[in-house]
């Protein structure tokens, strides 16, 4: 979903002056007295929803891979320089000819990830948590939120709760409860996904 789509769905949930609105009319709504104050609060609310997803652990992991061009007994990699949206390293996968390790050992040295005994031709894949995008008032409404649509589709409930917190506390509580229930169900489904291979089936890196 785009930022604009989330804003429109949030307004529809809030039921302000009906629901006959769309992303095509969003630009006009910014100057509409009935909508503009609520719209001005939404960027922060969307960002807070994304941080809630990160806290729960439902933001999809991403990966970055490199192939070793030489043998290295010690390899140091600063992922923050190589990956623009890098936030946190979850695990390292190393694959070679007839070898595979889904949880290759590593340690940290300052900002560097340190790996040992890598061989030429090894493919090293870093599985990481991406940074949560920050949505500002200046953010383009056409910007895609980089998470699955079935997850981003529950953000409007969080936005409604956040925006209505002072003016309509009862409605805000109801919306937040719906959000948390749907988030818990999504998390449950994610946790039921089979775990990936976790062992080394051949040594000799």
pLDDT in tens, 16-34: 766 678 899 899 999 999 8
Instruction: Flag the least confident range among 37-41, 65-69, 88-92, 190-194.
Output: 190-194
Q: Could you tell me the pLDDT band of residue 191, with boundaries at 50, 70 and 90?
A: confident
Q: Evaluate whether 146 touches 133 at the Cβ level (below 8 Å).
A: yes
Residue 199: the pLDDT is 45
Residues of the chain with pLDDT > 70: what percent?
A: 92
CB atoms within 10 A of CB 145: 20
pLDDT of residue 190: 76
Is 50 exceeded by the pLDDT of residue 200? no
The answer to whether the pTM exceeds 0.75 is yes
The strand pairing partners of 75, in sequence order, are: 115
Measured between alpha carbons, how far is 118 from 56 in angstroms, rounded to an integer?
34
**172-198: average pLDDT:** 82
Instruction: Specify the pLDDT at position 162.
Output: 96
Residue 148 in this model has a pLDDT that exceeds 70: yes
Q: Dump pLDDT digits (tens) for 80-109.
A: 999 999 999 999 999 998 899 999 999 999
Q: Which helix (H) or strand (E) holds 161?
A: helix 155-163
Distance CA 155, CA 6 (A): 7
Average pLDDT, stretch 115-125? 97
């Amino acid at each position: 979903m785009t930022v604009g789509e989330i804003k429109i769905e949030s307004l529809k949930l809030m039921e302000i002056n009906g629901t006959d609105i769309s992303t095509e009319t969003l630009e006009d709504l910014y100057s509409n007295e009935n909508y503009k104050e609520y719209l001005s609060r939404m960027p922060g609310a969307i960002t807070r929803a994304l941080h809630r997803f990160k806290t729960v652990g439902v933001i999809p992991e991403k990966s970055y891979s490199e192939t070793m061009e030489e043998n290295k007994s010690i390899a140091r990699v600063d992922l923050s320089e190589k990956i623009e949206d890098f936030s946190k390293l979850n695990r390292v996968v190393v694959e070679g000819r007839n070898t595979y390790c889904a949880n290759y050992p590593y340690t940290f040295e300052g900002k560097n990830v340190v790996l040992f005994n890598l061989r030429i031709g090894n493919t090293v894949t870093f599985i990481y948590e991406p940074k949560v995008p920050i949505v500002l008032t200046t953010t383009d409404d056409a910007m895609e939120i980089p998470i699955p649509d079935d997850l981003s589709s529950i953000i409007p409930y969080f936005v409604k709760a956040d925006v209505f917190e002072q003016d309509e506390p009862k409605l805000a509580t109801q919306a937040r409860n719906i959000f948390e229930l749907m988030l818990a169900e999504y998390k449950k489904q994610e946790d039921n996904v089979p775990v990936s291979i976790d062992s080394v089936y051949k040594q000799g890196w």
